[in-house]
Amino acid sequence: MWDNFLFIGLPYIVIILFFGGIIYRGFGGIMGRYRGKWDWSVRGDYQWTTRSTGFFGRVSIGPASLCLHWGIIILFFAHVVGLIGGAYNLASWVDFFRWAGLGGGILFFYGIVWALVRRIAFARIKAMSTPDDYIILLFLIFVSGFGLYQSAVEMVFGISYSVGPWLASIIKLQPDVSMIAGAPLMNKLHIIFAFLFFAYLPFTKLVHILSYPFGYITRPFISMRKYVALKK
């Protein structure tokens, strides 16, 4: 029963919440002139933007930020390749997912853990943080942690051959839970927490990723100067 709910019912609930939440947030901006109007930019909606903490402790966030962003880019493409390889039984694609996912996962895990530490350790960042900042970071730590554990500790590889066809059955509206029922517990937890993350994402500041890079391509450069230089 639990497998049916978690790997048949939950995916469709997540799809509804993910796309429905994005549409709701996209057309329901807090600021009046954006309400009812989609805008491929940072929108001016303060609940949509990142509420950037980059001005505080910039030296400490530099390497971690690079690891976080490059890690998630690598993981995204590695997962796409791995799931397609698993669905179509392409061994070389699954092997690519194995090593690219492991490398990207290490980078991402370091970046996301340090992002949480900064929010706790830096008083000014902590003061401007909201509960959803911590919740979304914890979700990402759990998702990446379970993924790294199964690949780096338990050395479980080739799970794409089960997950790929199962995910394809979900997309085709012909769900087959038998494909995923026998997967290791860590893999199941990785998938479940990933689903919970995607269901929660549209209602957090991470929704700003849907604005990038559209509004940034034509956005003018921002000139940043030190106060001493301005006095001169």
DSSP letter at 35?
Answer: B
Per-residue pLDDT of 88-118, as tens digits, reads: 888 888 888 888 989 999 999 999 998 888 8
Residue 55 belongs to a domain: no
Whose CA is closest to 11, among 163, 183, 209?
163
Q: Which residues lie closer than 8 Å to 165 by C-beta, 6 or more apart?
A: 86, 87, 176, 179
**Is position 110 within any domain?**
yes
- Which pLDDT belongs to residue 35? 60
Q: Which residues of the chain have pLDDT under 50?
A: 42
pLDDT score recorded for residue 38? 60
pLDDT reported for residue 187: 87
Distance between terminal CA atoms of the chain?
A: 71
For residue 93, being part of any structural domain is answered with yes
Tokens coding 170:
């979900």
What does the pLDDT read at residue 55? Answer: 57
Range of the domain at 200: 2-39+60-231
Identify whether 218 is part of a domain: yes
In a domain, 210, yes or no: yes
Q: Please tell me the distance from the alpha carbon of residue 120 to that of residue 53, in angstroms, as a whole number.
A: 13
For residue 20, being part of any structural domain is answered with yes
Identify the pLDDT of residue 142: 94
Tell me the CA distances in angstroms from 106 to 24, 46, 95, 146, 149, one per residue in order: 34, 32, 17, 12, 11
Residue 156 domain flag = yes
Question: Residue 190 maps to which CATH number?
Answer: 1.20.950.20
28: helix, strand or coil: strand
Domains contained in the chain, number = 1
- What is the Cα–Cα distance from 207 to 193, expressed in whole angstroms? 18
Question: What is residue 143's predicted lDDT score, i.e. its pLDDT?
Answer: 93
Cβ proximity of 21 and 202 under 8 Å: yes
In a domain, 54, yes or no: no
> Residue 35 pairs with which residues in a beta bridge?
28
- pLDDT the model gives residue 153: 75
